[in-house]
Amino acid sequence: MKFLEPTEIAPRAISYNGSILIEEYLNDWCPIEHRELTAKIIEKIAETLKKLHSLELSEGIIKICKDKYTMDLKYHPFQIFKTIEKVLKSKNVYCNYEKLGEYFITVNERLSRSNYTLSLIHGDLSPNNIMLKGNEIKIVDWSDCRLDIFTADISQLFYLFKFSEGQERLFKDFYGYGLGDLDNSLLLNHKILLVLYDLASDFSLPSGREDKESRLTSLLRQI
């Protein structure tokens, strides 16, 4: 991840052996807490992610960061959904798979008619991975960094930080968009995939699963 160093959005990479990334220790930096999500901090996070998603990538970086879903440099939400669906069915998780499948096919078709490019994304924007020092932001733990569509990062940020609708609107204003009317559709697409992924990897009590199933039902109403 040394190519990120000039951007100053990440710690210095000390070593990487193909599976373990060791990063510089950020002394006096602390993870962001929800109460610290002021307008200024949201603006800084938006600026930081915009900088990441706007990076020009060399062919070598693209080759390293592609995964099985982006080998052709396209985003394939239906393929991702089908992978998660298999796990959910094996765990006897009920949801409207037919409606979900039709929805992700529609997203695929809309993307196929759009002129978009994939970006480098962080892939794990949990509160523990966005560090704060004063009004400065750095993002740590780049082990899930990959080539993907930029809204994957934004939706994960909203989901894991539990942004309110007002905070989401504020972030969108600061970030600016690049895919026109597809933006909100893609954010919804990722939110649904995140809940499905949570259900597929869920080991919580039934009450915890019910909360996620309720959240999924609410998102399905927006389709």
For 144-200, the pLDDT digits (tens) are 999 999 999 999 999 999 999 999 999 999 998 765 667 888 999 999 999 999 999
- The domain tally of the chain equals 1
Could you list the residue range(s) of the whole structural domain that residue 205 is in? 38-126+148-220
For 94-115, the pLDDT digits (tens) are 889 999 999 999 999 999 888 8
Domain presence at residue 184: yes
Domain presence at residue 112: yes
Number of helical (H) and strand (E) elements in the chain, helices listed first:
8, 7
Domain presence at residue 215: yes
CATH of the domain at 115: 3.90.1200.10
Domain presence at residue 13: no
Domain presence at residue 210: yes
> What predicted TM-score, i.e. pTM, was given to this entire model?
0.89
Domain presence at residue 95: yes
Domain presence at residue 102: yes
Query: Which pair of tokens denotes residue 172?
Result: 């969108």
Domain presence at residue 57: yes
> Quick one: CA torsion of 180, 113, 53, 219, rounded to 10 degrees?
70
